[in-house]
């Protein structure tokens, strides 16, 4: 079945290598194509060779006494950087797969949505350290005495810092799909497989790419906690930039902390140039607009790939696989399901689903209550509930200030491809910068000024949370069709009227996604922001993050569970009372 070329977005499937928004370099006549092909092939072979060489170190035997110590010789940094980068991309692949499955299930089933979205609220609020407590034990039991167990635990921890933001963003793009695309998919009776790849994924591609870039930065932010693990008074360490920086910070060695910062900056810039900038430039072809933009993003790497014949050859070689997958995808049915349903059957199904899911949740809560009652008594919840109020105040202040500061900046960047090219690497560096790397400066500054860590901790929390709002504001502004912006220019609409009529409605769905993930990210960032250590000096803020960090380090599972449960309670309550209502408003009134 052919797809009409006049329908925006549908004729630009994700497996196609070219689109109408090609850069000028890609439109020039091919010159010295064989040289380009050799360069691309050599680059791919080098990357595969490095991945195989670095991957060999993930399966060696593990000795707690020997491998808990971290070698901070600067000569080891290239190898450590490669190991960290391999973990980051492994976690990104797992996060993308999780995003597709989880977000699609929540968007397509009203009953599953009632369970999966609240569960996602809880998952994004569970600290990385809490995941590590379970992951290290489980993976070491699965791969005894092997470094692979620790590697899997580290990848899992990085995954937990990446996946939630991407899932929230893609879920919202699915539930706010433009009505004309939804109706056209139904009228053409696309298979659900084809609808996903040809309609839903292209419609959410810009937000998915920018949220993926931000999630990747979130992985860098928690790299120290993921690679240098202290659980139940037992220390585990993996070769990587995070563990290197953690060891240098613990030793108070400013010189080697500087080497770690320089290495992190090189990694972020390199990944941005080779991976994220080509991807963001390519994603512009999925804009839902009627006319081509006069100025588009450029990427030297993407231009090189477009001039090479190798991607086309690979695409033709994989075409039979794509056809086979399309045929196999027919088992999921066609997209012609009726919009009206039997109300009696719907209410019966809802009741049965609510009873089953509610019974499971109630059983889990009763079991948790029995465990805590026997271990410490239910009074264990009193202290974290009070400490949570202090952390809640920091989160509210952070989100409010980040909204006022970063939304206008994000809109400005998203409306200008030239500014995007300049700002993207800078934003990537600051968004990816782990708060732990600033601990020496923070300790010195707080001691010199006499400022309390209770206030200074907000700045460290902002390093891990405010960028969700900025990146989503950029993605929302980029997704606004150029037609609408040009129409506003022609009508002379400026200032607050332009914001009220175009900008706020256009970016509102993306902002809500950024706000809900920034709120959850701020709670998570409290774990590494309310306890600051450099050398022999430790500053501790009053808050729930410090409470959970202390319980994790001591291996105090009752207090750890109580802290995580209270943090989840605060996050879910905030999301239910504020962010979910804004989500519904975005779905009803502000879908493009």
Give the tens place of pLDDT for each residue, 169-189. 899 888 878 777 877 787 787
| pLDDT classification of 4: cutoffs 50, 70, 90 | very low
In 10 A of CB 322, how many CB atoms?
13
Dist. CA 94–CA 98, nearest whole Å: 6
pLDDT in the model for residue 408: 92
> What is the average per-residue pLDDT within 391-410?
91
DSSP E strands in 6-48: the ranges are: none
List, as one string, the DSSP characters of 371-403: HHHHHT-GGGGHHHHHHHHHHHHHHHHHHHHHH
Tell which residue, 434, 515, 459, has the closest CA to residue 158: 434
Overall size of the chain counted in residues: 592
Burial code of 520-530, b = ≥16 C-beta within 10 A, e = fewer?
bbbbbbbbbbb
CA–CA dist 500, 508 (Å, integer):
11
Q: What is the pLDDT of residues 96-106, one digit of tens each?
A: 999 999 999 98
**What pLDDT is stored for residue 101 in this prediction?**
92
Torsion sign (Cα): 471, 257, 80, 161? negative
Structure tokens at 159: 């995954």
- Mean of the per-residue pLDDT values for the chain? 78
- Evaluate if residue 421 carries a pLDDT over 90: no
Q: Which residues fall within 8 angstroms of residue 553, CB to CB, at 6 or more apart?
A: 230, 233
pLDDT > 90: what percent of the chain? 6
Pick from 257, 282, 321: nearest CA to 533: 257
**109-114: Cβ within 8 A, 24+ apart:** 111/349, 111/350, 111/353, 114/353, 114/354, 114/357
Higher pLDDT, 381 or 489: 381
Q: Decide which of 454 and 145 is more confident.
A: 454
pTM of the model: 0.73
For tokens 């400022």, name the residue: 451
The phi, psi pair for 413, rounded to 5°, reads -65, -45
Contact 378, 372 (CB under 8 A): yes
- Taking the C-alpha atoms of 144, 145, 146 and 152 in order, what is their torsion angle to the nearest 10 degrees? 60
pLDDT band, very low/low/confident/very high, at 340 (cuts 50, 70, 90) = low
pLDDT of 338 higher than 70 = no
Q: What is the pLDDT of residue 150?
A: 82
More confidently predicted of 293 and 330 = 330
- pLDDT higher than 80, residue 515: yes
Q: How large is the average pLDDT for residues 510-526? A: 83
* Mean pLDDT score, 200-213: 86
According to the model, what pLDDT value does residue 18 have?
42
Cα dihedral 178→181→187→188 (10° resolution): -160
**CA angle 298–504–211, rounded 5-degree value:** 45
pLDDT of amino acid 21: 41
Q: What is the pLDDT of residues 530-586, one digit of tens each?
A: 887 766 677 788 888 888 888 877 777 788 888 888 888 888 888 888 887 887 887
Residue range 475-497: mean pLDDT, rounded: 80
Q: How far apart are CA 507 and CA 518, in angstroms?
A: 16
Higher per-residue pLDDT: 354 or 281: 281
Find out whether 199 and 104 touch, Cβ atoms under 8 Å: no
Q: Which of 218-232, 435-449, 514-528 has the highest mean pLDDT?
A: 514-528
pLDDT of residue 66: 46
Lowest mean pLDDT among 26-40, 57-71, 83-97, 455-469: 57-71
Among the ranges given (23-32, 161-170, 182-191), the one the predictor scored with the smallest mean pLDDT = 23-32
- What does the alpha-carbon distance between residue 302 and residue 315 come to, in Å, rounded to a whole number? 16
Q: What is the pLDDT of residue 339?
A: 47
* Of the candidate ranges 51-65, 385-399, 417-431, the one whose mean pLDDT is the lowest: 51-65
Q: What is the pLDDT of residues 341-393, one digit of tens each?
A: 566 766 777 677 777 777 887 787 787 777 777 777 778 888 889 998 999 99
Beta bridge partners of 237: 228
Closest C-alpha among 232, 186, 165 to residue 521 = 165
For residues 297 and 46, give the distance between their C-alpha atoms in angstroms, rounded to a whole number: 27
pLDDT value at position 342? Answer: 62
């Amino acid at each position: 079945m052919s797809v009409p070329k006049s329908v925006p977005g549908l004729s630009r499937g994700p497996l196609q290598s070219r689109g109408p928004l090609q850069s000028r370099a890609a439109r020039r006549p091919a010159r010295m194509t064989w040289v380009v092909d050799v360069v691309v092939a050599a680059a791919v072979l080098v990357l595969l060779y490095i991945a195989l060489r670095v991957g060999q170190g993930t399966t060696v035997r593990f000795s707690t006494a020997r491998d808990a110590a971290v070698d901070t010789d600067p000569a080891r940094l290239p190898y450590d950087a490669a190991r960290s980068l391999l973990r980051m991309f492994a976690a990104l692949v797992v996060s993308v797969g999780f995003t597709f499955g989880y977000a699609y299930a929540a968007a397509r089933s009203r009953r599953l949505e009632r369970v999966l979205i609240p569960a996602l609220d809880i998952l994004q609020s569970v600290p990385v350290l809490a995941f590590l407590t379970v992951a290290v034990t489980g993976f070491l039991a699965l791969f005894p005495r092997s470094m692979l167990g620790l590697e899997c635990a580290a990848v899992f921890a990085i995954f937990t810092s990446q996946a939630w933001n991407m899932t929230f963003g893609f879920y919202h793009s699915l539930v706010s799909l433009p009505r004309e695309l939804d109706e056209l998919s139904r009228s053409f009776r696309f298979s659900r497989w084809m609808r996903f790849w040809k309609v839903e994924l292209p419609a959410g591609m810009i937000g998915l790419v920018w949220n993926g870039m931000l999630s990747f930065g979130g992985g860098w932010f928690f790299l120290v906690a993921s690679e240098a693990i202290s659980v139940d008074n037992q220390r585990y360490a993996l070769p990587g930039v995070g563990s290197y920086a953690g060891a240098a910070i613990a030793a108070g060695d400013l010189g080697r902390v500087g080497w770690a910062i320089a290495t992190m900056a090189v990694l972020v810039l390199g990944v941005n140039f080779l991976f994220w900038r080509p991807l963001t430039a390519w994603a512009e072809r999925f804009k839902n607009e009627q006319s081509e933009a006069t100025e588009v993003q450029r990427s030297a790497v993407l231009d090189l790939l477009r001039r090479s014949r190798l991607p086309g050859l690979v695409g033709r070689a994989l075409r039979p696989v794509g056809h086979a997958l399309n045929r196999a995808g027919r088992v999921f049915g066609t997209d012609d399901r009726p919009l009206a349903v039997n109300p009696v059957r719907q209410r019966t199904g809802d009741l049965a689903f609510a009873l089953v899911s509610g019974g499971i949740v109630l059983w889990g809560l009763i079991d948790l209550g029995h465990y805590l009652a026997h271990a410490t008594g239910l009074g264990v919840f009193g202290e974290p509930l009070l400490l949570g109020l202090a952390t809640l105040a920091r989160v509210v202040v952070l989100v409010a200030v980040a909204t006022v500061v970063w939304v206008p900046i994000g809109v400005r960047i998203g409306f200008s491809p030239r500014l995007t090219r300049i700002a993207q690497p800078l934003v990537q560096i600051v968004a990816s910068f782990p708060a732990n790397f600033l601990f020496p400066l923070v300790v010195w500054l707080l001691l010199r000024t006499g400022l309390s860590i209770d206030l200074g901790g907000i700045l460290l929390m902002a390093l891990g949370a405010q960028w969700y709002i900025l990146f989503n504001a950029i993605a929302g502004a980029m997704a606004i069709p150029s037609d609408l912006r040009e129409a506003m220019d022609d009508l002379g609409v400026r200032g607050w009227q332009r914001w009220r009529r175009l900008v706020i409605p256009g970016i509102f769905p993306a902002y809500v996604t950024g706000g809900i993930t920034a709120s959850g990210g701020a709670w998570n960032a409290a774990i590494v922001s309310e306890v600051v250590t450099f050398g022999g000096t430790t500053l501790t803020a009053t808050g729930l993050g410090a409470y959970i960090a202390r319980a994790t380090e001591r291996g105090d599972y009752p207090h750890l569970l109580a802290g995580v449960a209270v943090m989840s309670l605060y996050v879910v309550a905030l999301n239910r009372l504020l962010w979910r209502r804004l989500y519904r408003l975005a779905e009803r009134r502000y879908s493009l």
